[in-house]
Amino acid sequence: MSVEHIIGKSVPRKEGRDKVTGAARYIDDMTLPGMLHGATVRSQIPRGVIRNILFDPRFDWNEFVIVTAKDIPGENCIALIGDDQPCLAEGKVNHPEEPVLLLAHADPHLLRKAVDAVSIEYEDLPAIFTIDESECRSQLIWGTDNIFKTFLISKGDVDSVWAKADYIVEGEYTTGAQEQLYIENNGVIAVFDVVQGITVWGSLQCPYYVHKALMALCRLAEDKVRVVQMETGGAFGGKEDYPSMIAGHAALLAMKSGRPVKIIYDRLEDMTATTKRHPSRTRHRTAVGRDGKILGGEIDFTIDGGAYATLSSVVLSRGTIHAGGPYYWPHVRIRAKAVATNAPPHGAFRGFGAPQSLFAMERHMDRIAQVVGVSPIEIRRRNFLKPGQTTTTEQTIREEIDLGRLLDRALELSDYTAKKERFAKEKAGPIKKGMGIAAFLHGAGFTGSGERYLASVVGVEGCADGSVRVLVSSTEFGQGTNTVLCQIAAEALDLTYEDVQIAQPDTNQVPNSGPTVASRTAMVVGNLVRSAAMGIKQTLIAAGTLGGSYSPEEFRAACRDYISEHGQLRSLARYDPPAGVFWDDREYRGEAYAAFAWAVYVAQVAVDLSTYTVKVEDFVALQEIGRVLHPILAKGQITGGVAQGIGFALYEKVVWQNGRMQNGQMTNYIMPTSADLPQIRVFFEEMGNPHGAYGAKGIGELPMDGPAPAIVNAVEDALGVRFDSVPLLPEDVFEAVSVGVEG
Amino acid sequence: MRSNPADYELIAPGKLQSVVRLLAEEPDEWLPIAGGTDVMVQYAAGKLPARKLVSIWNLPELQGIDVQPQEIRIGAGCNYTQLRENEVIAREFPLLASAARWTGGIANQNRGTLGGNIVNASPAADSLPALLAYEAELILVSIRGERRVPYLGFHTGYKKVQLASDELIRTICIRRAFSEYFQYARKVSARNAQAISKVCIAALGRLRGGVIDDLRMALGSVAPVPLRLTEVERIVREKAVEPELAQLARKATAAAIQPIDDIRSTARYRSAVAGNLVVEFLERLRDSGKTA
Amino acid sequence: MTTSSDNRGKCEILLTVNGKPESVRVYPMERLLDVLRHELGLTGAKEGCGEGECGSCSVLMNGELVNSCLIPVLQAAGANLTTIEGLAHGFQLSALQAAFLECGGAQCGICTPGMILASRYLLNKKPDPTLDDIREGLSGNLCRCTGYTQIFDAVAEAARRRDPA
């Protein structure tokens, strides 16, 4: 391998200067002349028939732009996958905070009062709020059986293993909803022009998702919809599909009024009305041999999708495929389903189903260890996947990953063994300490045939001044898209990092490189950037203006010359699925992901039994990620993801009442502050990846999978009490330890 | 932002006399606003009933920490940063210093005032148990003059205080009588910073001949008002701290408090933790060596 | 100081912002955050929560760190304000800004202006902070992206640079 000069270096963040000087422009920093503010009138009940909409006569409603479902030129839905989610409720509402109508006015304060001055009368219908209620079908709220989607993974012959088992271990594990809590709330501005069509600027992850949704909603052709991503203040999946809804609303108001319309949510509206992580319930029943080896098992994985299907089928898919963890299952049956409840639809949040099913798997491994009478270390070591073995979907592990050695390294970095022994002896006093581990994998890129279906296209072009520009619809929202893709192009072309820029994602300017999700940007899109960059280099070489080796100045000169002669220097690269990679969508079998990253995380906790609070005192995050493209960005991704995982485990509880989030404020939805987190110690290994740019694997979501099970495993180690649910709050610890202490 | 600024009046007369005259001349019309860390949250949420506000921020008469030989006099307009930075408070009144450190984040400590905290009267306010433990007294001021009242009993019910509608708190007075006492404060909340307390305790005590000679204990977030545990104090006075006494104290604490289930926590948790904190205080007092 | 024309309407308020005298005609109960963003075009301060929890609206008022979403502009009359826009000297970034860039202290950037001002306030008070000092000093500024570690690195690095000895 040749020595890279930019890949592997922590070059300055491309848009970093703007961010530290306050120059970065987020959607609420933007205004347009004549702009109106838009707002949404939402349902206050979880389910019912709309009987009447009343407008308080003390307002002059002629001053307002009012949009209802009747104003929708195209389909009243947010086009995504199943297309069952209305843009505006028509006749019926199926969750609290469901949008019913839209208002716009130039005065945002008057607008706020006007929203409260619209009252909706309903005939209430019975509503359901939990997975159990949905399953028992006392109310059918979606389709014929409340089920959005099911999957079945079947490997080997599970029914044959029970008789041979020395142990049968069962467990049920649940995870709650989690709010993405990007610090910048959702917002968009829309403009409509009869000739140009709709233009939307917004805080978003996937410009082309919004583009597709607006085409269908507004009945406009492809070239009459333009979507531009502004600087985006955090997303984590919460701005994957939701922006299509808010953009649709702003577009409708813009079309009706002929004026630009800005919709910005405040924190309360954002928290109560937009997507969350799917709550989950996983049931394991595992046949285990005397030596602790898994003989086979059944896994039942269910997620709560809220009122409409939206992304639930894909979240379910990923959760299902990851449900078996990094272990070898000779036989397994995984039954998975996504069910409907009367809550705002749940959606994408970093990890996308995997944190849920991996929480269960890693808790269950500790359970198996107890039953068998070996340590949590040993049980994992004996069951780890080895090269040549197949996963639950019968994907052969082709790389020389040695999970036992990864585990050993994590144990050494965390001083696990010595600490565990010491803590077991330190019984006196109210502070009980414990150690816990989680071993896991995370598949990067879209599942199975997903990347083929996306058929991403990337462009790299030369500019008139000799610099190079990357053209992708992949968005920056903190994870480093701009930086890494420019690094890749600069590396591929032997230029300096400063020679390469990246275009603002604008569907008029950039091709569709796919959504910025699934940890695919560095790995998949990066590879296409590399190809497209090579493309313009080939063009210049073929034109005779560039030799095989050259300096950056020579490249820039050749680029300038070529453009002045030909007008444009651009190369497009389209995703080409690797040969020999098969995925069967019907049987859910085959190569689920082009690459897995592997990890072992270790948590050290201290439980204070005077207050029942759990503190994470030390955290080691060790992962194999193919190639570290940018050390600071990579470390930042892991640290940030672990912090969110710690929040998922110990702090972040959504309090529900009748399908509505009750704690929709930052005072009451608790995310960790700087005073709550330990130093998160991050370590990498690099084994390369033939399918990823410069050997990289996707890492954005990986760190979300490990913290919750590692921490809960550590708490059980500290207290000797079982917890099978997150978030694990002090009140839950109290209830568990006080059983039997008082009457 | 769910309120319209155009619907509100805010004036800043700049002098205490002008403010109290206004409050007397236009009764129940004007809401005093100091640092605004409570009022402005309600305002932004569209939940502020008042429409006319009078700023008492930076009124010179409400500033300053006056250290006298027998007592310390804290201007009601002092913010938490000023409390934290005062040497006498740090040395002699650590319960108040801790509470100041625990209130909000740094930015809110620069604006939140002790007087505002008292008048806002949240039972979860961090500094109120400390004021109970220190047996603070308040100097209240109105057009009619000043009066001095014990802080104990100032809170008459949930968010209700014994302040006439034309009165302001001018000064919080605390006797410099506790520097030789063992002092113990602890806040239990959902996270280590910027969190409303689930339970908090401020307590002080001293021993004599192996028994408890004198003590004060106060809890927050376990009743509609911050609570002085007078009954628990009575039970443990003159006794040695032993397991049976701890159990009695725990039971008496549970009987004295009225914790609720709310968005932050549960009554059972609060009750258990309150008992734990009281026992922890008594045990640490026993081990403290602080004698009369 | 204020020259209040009419209690019921707007008033003229004088402020110094980043060293520059400004005069705004606003309702006295406008939030300082909104005045900075809408009247003065200083959009560096952000609204993340509207209730003084996230710190993304933080600015320095008379040298003190405050949440501008909780300050009625009348109470800022006559004050000296520093926003993120006032930290760089032309093209030259401050030590903190440069350190945030180098250490990965900014990811999505939305908390960054407030975080840098909170760091500036901390370093003004404690030029040589311990890790615990940094943790505490920034505990009122929420960051969802970084997990804080690289922010602490940036503050420590900036502290080192201001005092190279």
Kindly report the average pLDDT of chain A as a whole number. 97
> Which site among C11, C39, C70 would you substitute to test the B interface, given the most B Cβ atoms closer than 10 Å to its Cβ?
C70
Q: Which of the four pLDDT bands, split at 50, 70 and 90, describes residue C163? A: low
Task: Tell me the fold of A456-574.
Answer: Aldehyde Oxidoreductase; domain 4 (3.30.365)
Q: A662 to chain B: which residues are within 8 Å by CB?
A: 263
What is the distance in angstroms between the Cα of A194 and the nearest Cα belonging to chain C? 30
- CA angle, corner A292, sides to A286 and A296, nearest 5? 30
Cβ pair A734:B272 closer than 8 A: yes
Between CA A626 and CA A696 the distance in angstroms is 5
> Which site among A18, A21, A107 would you substitute to test the C interface, given the most C Cβ atoms closer than 10 Å to its Cβ?
A21
Cβ pair C27:B8 closer than 8 A: yes
In a 10 Å sphere around its CB, with 0-12 CB exposed, 13-18 middle and 19+ buried, how is residue B262 labelled? middle
Tokens of A62: 């002629």
Chain C contact for B43, CB < 8 A? yes
Chain C contact for B5, CB < 8 A? yes
Q: Which residues pair with B32 in a beta bridge?
A: B54
- Do A382 and A291 form a contact (C-beta atoms < 8 A)? yes
Cβ pair C55:B5 closer than 8 A: no
Cβ pair C144:A640 closer than 8 A: yes
Tokens of A496: 């300096």
Closest residue in chain C to residue B46, using alpha carbons only: C50
Chain A contact for B164, CB < 8 A? no
Q: CA end-to-end span of chain C, whole Å?
A: 43
Q: What is the CATH number of domain A280-447+587-738?
A: 3.30.365.10
CATH 3.10.20.30 fits C11-86, yes or no: yes
Percentage of residues of chain A with pLDDT beyond 90: 96
- Surface of A (249-278) touching B: CB under 8 A: 266, 268
pLDDT (0 to 100) of residue A739: 78
In a 10 Å sphere around its CB, with 0-12 CB exposed, 13-18 middle and 19+ buried, how is residue B258 labelled? middle
CB atoms within 10 A of CB A559: 28
Q: Which residues pair with B200 in a beta bridge?
A: B187, B220
Task: Please report the ipTM that was assigned to this predicted complex.
Answer: 0.97
Percentage of residues of chain A with pLDDT beyond 70: 99
pLDDT in tens, A196-247: 999 999 999 999 999 999 999 999 999 999 999 999 999 999 999 999 999 9
Q: C147 to chain A: which residues are within 8 Å by CB?
A: 636, 639-644, 677, 680
A253-262 exposure pattern, b = at least 16 Cβ within 10 A, e = fewer: bbbbbebbbb
Q: Does pLDDT of A18 surpass 90?
A: yes
Cβ pair B272:A673 closer than 8 A: no
Please state the domain extents for chain A: 35-125+186-264, 280-447+587-738, 456-574
Q: Does pLDDT of B215 surpass 50?
A: yes
Chain B contact for C28, CB < 8 A? yes
pLDDT (0 to 100) of residue A548: 85
pLDDT (0 to 100) of residue C164: 52
Neighbours of B, requiring at least 3 CB pairs below 8 Å, are A, C
Residue by residue, DSSP assigns C99-149 as HHHHHT--SS-SSHHHHHHHHHHHHHH-SS--HHHHHHHTTTS--SSS-SH
Chain A contact for B247, CB < 8 A? no
pLDDT in tens, B50-103: 999 999 999 999 999 999 999 999 999 999 999 999 999 999 999 999 999 999
Mean pLDDT of A645-652: 98
Query: Which residues have CB under 8 Å from A622's CB, separation 6+?
Result: A406, A409, A410, A413, A599, A600, A601, A602, A683, A684, A685
Between CA B220 and CA A76 the distance in angstroms is 52
- Do A104 and A250 form a contact (C-beta atoms < 8 A)? no
pLDDT (0 to 100) of residue B32: 98
Q: Does pLDDT of A668 surpass 90?
A: yes
Q: Does pLDDT of C70 surpass 80?
A: yes
pLDDT in tens, A546-564: 998 999 999 999 999 999 9
SS3 C74: helix
Between CA A202 and CA A232 the distance in angstroms is 8
pLDDT (0 to 100) of residue A516: 97
Mean pLDDT of A677-702: 96
Of A573-582, B5-14, C135-144, minimum mean pLDDT range: A573-582
Could you tell me where in chain C the CATH 1.10.150.120 domains are found? Answer: 95-162
Q: Which of the four pLDDT bands, split at 50, 70 and 90, describes residue A431? A: very high
> Which one, of A623, A277, A292, lies nearest residue A440 by Cα?
A623
The number of helices, as runs of H, and strands, as runs of E, in chain B is 11, 14
Q: Does pLDDT of C6 surpass 70?
A: no
Q: B54 to chain C: which residues are within 8 Å by CB?
A: none
Could you tell me where in chain C the CATH 3.10.20.30 domains are found? Answer: 11-86
pLDDT (0 to 100) of residue A346: 98
Chain A contact for B125, CB < 8 A? no
pLDDT (0 to 100) of residue C3: 40
3-state helix, strand, coil in chain B (%, to 5): 35, 25, 40
pLDDT (0 to 100) of residue A1: 45
Between CA A278 and CA A349 the distance in angstroms is 8
3-state helix, strand, coil in chain C (%, to 5): 40, 20, 45
What is the distance in angstroms between the Cα of A25 and the nearest Cα belonging to chain C? 8
Chain C contact for A232, CB < 8 A? yes
What is the distance in angstroms between the Cα of C147 and the nearest Cα belonging to chain A? 4
pLDDT (0 to 100) of residue A578: 83
Kindly give the interhelix angle for A416-425 and A707-719, rounded to the nearest 10 degrees: 30
> Which site among B273, B279, B281 would you substitute to test the A interface, given the most A Cβ atoms closer than 10 Å to its Cβ?
B273
Chain B contact for A109, CB < 8 A? yes
Q: A648 to chain C: which residues are within 8 Å by CB?
A: none
> Which site among B3, B10, B84, B191 would you substitute to test the C interface, given the most C Cβ atoms closer than 10 Å to its Cβ?
B10
Cβ pair B4:A113 closer than 8 A: yes
Q: Does pLDDT of A740 surpass 70?
A: no
Domain A35-125+186-264 has what CATH class?
alpha beta
As a whole number of Å, the CA-based R_g of chain B is: 19
Between CA C27 and CA B32 the distance in angstroms is 18
Closest residue in chain B to residue A612, using alpha carbons only: B273
Mean pLDDT of B7-21: 97
Do domains A280-447+587-738 and A456-574 share one topology? The answer is: yes
Kindly report the average pLDDT of chain B as a whole number. 97
Mean pLDDT of A509-526: 97
Between CA A552 and CA A570 the distance in angstroms is 18
Q: C155 to chain A: which residues are within 8 Å by CB?
A: none
pLDDT (0 to 100) of residue C1: 36
Q: Which of the four pLDDT bands, split at 50, 70 and 90, describes residue C2? A: very low
- Surface of C (103-122) touching A: CB under 8 A: 103-104, 106-113, 116
Residue by residue, DSSP assigns A369-384 as HHHHT--HHHHHHHHB
Task: Tell me the fold of C95-162.
Answer: DNA polymerase; domain 1 (1.10.150)
Neighbours of C, requiring at least 3 CB pairs below 8 Å, are A, B
What is the distance in angstroms between the Cα of C98 and the nearest Cα belonging to chain A? 8
Mean pLDDT of A167-173: 98
pLDDT in tens, A381-417: 999 999 999 999 999 999 999 999 999 999 999 999 9
